[in-house]
Homo-oligomer: A and B are copies of this chain.
Amino acid sequence: MSVLVVGSLAIDSIETPFGSAPRALGGSATYISAAASYFTNPIRLVGVVGGDFPKEGLRFLEERHVDLEGLEIVKEGKTFHWAGRYHYDLNVRDTLKTQLNVFEKFDPKIPPRYKNSTYVCLGNIDPVLQLRVLDQIEKPRVVICDTMNYWIEGKNKELLETLKRIDILILNESEARLLSKEPNLIKAARVIRGMGPRIVIVKKGEHGALLITESTVFSAPAYPMENIFDPTGAGDAFAGGFVGWLGRTDDISEENLKRAVIYGSALASFCVEKFGVDGLRDLTYLRIQDRFRSFRELSRFEEDYVASE
């Protein structure tokens, strides 16, 4: 098994009510590969950064055993930059800046030895680029794709082409409604399954996640967090935990997809406990297992009561 992650690497400026980080390591590929790396490695990464990308960022990925052969470094360019501010209600955020920089001309090139990757995770990037990645992969076992409202609205036609070629779409609640034009989430997932992906995962933040296949709806709880420091990257950490677990087990049965959703949720919960990628820095497999079990406790209830009558 081999996991390939394609997405953005970024320098983020994050402000939350609890502090700020002016030049934090960010980007979908960064979070996805860091989260996935706790389950299997090396994780193969394809992305682009500018000459200003901090050495510390490269070191972080290397320490997480991320294979950087697919990382393009445009020396004279600047790294993708995003700046955002979260409100006291962390569900609300303002995007202050989005500078694509080297990402504007990004043309993902898959190194020859990555072409046999079995688990491919397409982070939230232009669906045209997502397609170009798929054109270069020989025979992926599972293609997982993330997207966002920006592409649903701005590149709808291209996104629909991409959706025909993926297995699992991960998107959030409002994106599911936007893409399907259907307010009911269960119906929305059905509509989206009709667009191509046979499995749809709807991330609902503090409400957990839904896994919807042809025959099953699985409802994963959210880990009850009182102290969320920074929601940035939670969705990507989810995708990383999800694909990491699939890569580790190479088992895409429904039962195991459910576990993968819980591992994704676990990694997302670690992610938001600290600033930027810090929550994904010093985890251990044991701590992840513990949290997995907490998720069980959270949603477990005993079989039917035998009333004394």
Contacts and interface: CB of A to CB of B under 8 A. Distances in A.
Contacts of A89: 183
Those 3 A-B pairs whose CB atoms lie nearest each other, nearest first:
A219-B221, A89-B183, A207-B207
Contacts of A228: 184
A214 interface: no
Contacts of A299: 218-221, 299
A305 to B, nearest CB: 6
Interface in A214-233: 217-222, 224-226, 228
Given A219-B222, A248-B307, A302 B184 contact: no
Interface string A232-252: 000000000000000011010
A125 to B, nearest CB: 29
Q: How large is the interface on A (under 10, 10 to 19, 20 to 34, 35 or more residues)?
A: 35 or more
A43 to B, nearest CB: 17
Contacts of A224: 186, 210, 217, 219
Interface of A: 88-91, 183-187, 190, 204, 206-208, 210, 217-222, 224-226, 228, 248-249, 251, 255-256, 258-259, 262, 289, 292-293, 296, 298-299, 301-305, 307
Contacts of A262: 301
Contacts of A292: 304
A249 B307 contact: yes
B298 A219 contact: yes
Chain B CB within 10 Å, residue with most, of A88, A91, A185: A185
Contacts of A226: 184, 186-187, 190
